[in-house]
Amino acid sequence: MRGGRRRLKLARMNSIAKSSQEPRPAFGTVMAPMMTLARFQNGEWGRFEALPYGPIEMLPAAHVLHYASTCFEGFKAYRWADGSINVFRMDRHIERMLQSARSLVLPAPDPRQLEEMIRAAIDSNRDLVPEAPGALYMRPFLFGTTPNIGAAGAPASEATLIVLASPVWDYFAGGMKPLRIYIEDVNARTASQTGKVKTGGNYAAALGPTLEARRRYHADQVLFCPGGSVQETGASNFLLLREGRVLTRSLDSTFLHGVTRDSVLTLAREEGYRVEERVFDVAEMLEWTHTGEAALSGTAAVLAGVGTLIHHGEELRVGAGDVGPHTRKLRERLVSIQRGESRDTHGWTKRV
Ligand SMILES: Cc1ncc(COP(=O)(O)O)c(C=O)c1O
């Protein structure tokens, strides 16, 4: 980007970041001006560089464009009241990225280099980290670049790793508005063996059913329950809550092991809830939501309350149809740690 245009864009982003009046752009649509990039060639990772955000060069025969060899992560850096910038559970996200890379037989990033790349991406965009409730959303992603269209059965031997940063505000427009969730009780979100891999293909697979549910029922998300067994939505984990109890699916290969899920369950246990992690079905969920609560958890969604479930064309109210008290309480507990408003006794936040 030319110097003048870049300065103008920076000034505009700064004003959005600082103002509470300006209309907030949709989640993920504004990119910070700097990114970091490293390449894997000849069997090793090269040093990374910090570059202006812009087009990247890639051959049309690149492995990722034909065989979807790609994975990514998403997490947030927060500006605390004292002006410091703190990242939430970066280590867990780096660990999950390495796991995804290994599952897809992509060259795994060096975790120390990836952390440095994340720190450098935050540092070079430091002024743009919005104040709470905003954050700087970090998006590391890795993809195979080997030019070979005959490599369906061979891994990429060359790859690129990029860390993007994006100032964000609300993921679900309207913030605490109770969500409408469509229950898909036949099809899975993705193949059962890659459910826990954060790879683009899983999202492409969930898109059709999600758009269809939006068109027919104005649903915000689809809850995938193949064969009636409750898993997760297209972009977040799923929890049931009520007085003294939390229920969610136990960890297996069929769904993404959310860092927010783990954090909420830890806080729930501390607050005295009995946390059950086990398989449960749609019938048990509907029984629970007569009087109990349901919520989606994720970096973007935080902990978002469900107001309506749509099952076989019928609309079913969840509890009172509003965001319930247990969802609000656990959301507040989590958010206050992320924003540095209450003490982080778990070592989840890292100053950068
Ligand atoms: C499919 C899916 N499940 C769950 C999550 C929640 O994961 P996390 O809490 O680590 O953001 C996400 C979001 O990132 C997701 O895309």
What pLDDT digit, counting tens, does each position of 39-93 carry?
A: 999 999 999 999 999 999 999 999 999 999 999 999 999 999 999 999 999 999 9
pLDDT band at 26 (very low <50, low <70, confident <90, very high): confident
* Interval between CA 325 and ligand 1 midpoint (Å): 23
What is residue 1's predicted lDDT score, i.e. its pLDDT? Answer: 46
pLDDT band at 345 (very low <50, low <70, confident <90, very high): very high
Q: Which atom of ligand 1 is nearest to the CA of 96?
A: 10
* Interval between CA 299 and ligand 1 midpoint (Å): 7
Q: Which atom of ligand 1 is nearest to the CA of 237?
A: 4
pLDDT band at 147 (very low <50, low <70, confident <90, very high): very high
Rounded average pLDDT over 95-103: 98
Considering the entire predicted model, what is its pTM? Answer: 0.94
Give the residue, by CA position, lying nearest to ligand 1 atom 15. 235
Q: Which atom of ligand 1 is nearest to the CA of 206?
A: 1
User: What's the per-residue H, E or C state across the chain?
Assistant: CCHHHHHHHHHHHHHHHHCCCCCCCCCCCCCCCEEEEEEEECCEECCCEEEECCCCCCCCCEHHHHHCCEEECCEEEEECCCCCEEEECHHHHHHHHHHHHHHCCCCCCCHHHHHHHHHHHHHCCHHHCCECCCEEEEEEEEEECCECCCCCCCCCCCEEEEEEEEEECCCCCCCCCCEEEEEECCCCCCCHHHCCCCCHHHHHHHHHHHHHHHHHHCCCEEEECHHHECCEECCCEEEEEECCEEEECCCCCCCCCCHHHHHHHHHHHHCCCEEEECCCEHHHHHHHCCCCEEEEEECCCEEEEEEEEEECCEEEECCCCCCCHHHHHHHHHHHHHHCCCCCCCCCCEEEC
Reply yes or no on whether the pLDDT at 205 is more than 60.
yes
Domains in the chain: boundaries: 3-168, 179-338
- Ligand 1 pocket, 258 CB below 6 A? yes
- Ligand 1 pocket, 195 CB below 6 A? no
3.90.79.10, 3.20.10.10, 3.10.105.10, 3.30.420.40: CATH of 179-338: 3.20.10.10
- Ligand 1 pocket, 124 CB below 6 A? no
Enter the CATH code of domain 3-168.
3.30.470.10
- Ligand 1 pocket, 74 CB below 6 A? yes
- Ligand 1 pocket, 167 CB below 6 A? no
Reply yes or no on whether the pLDDT at 215 is more than 50.
yes
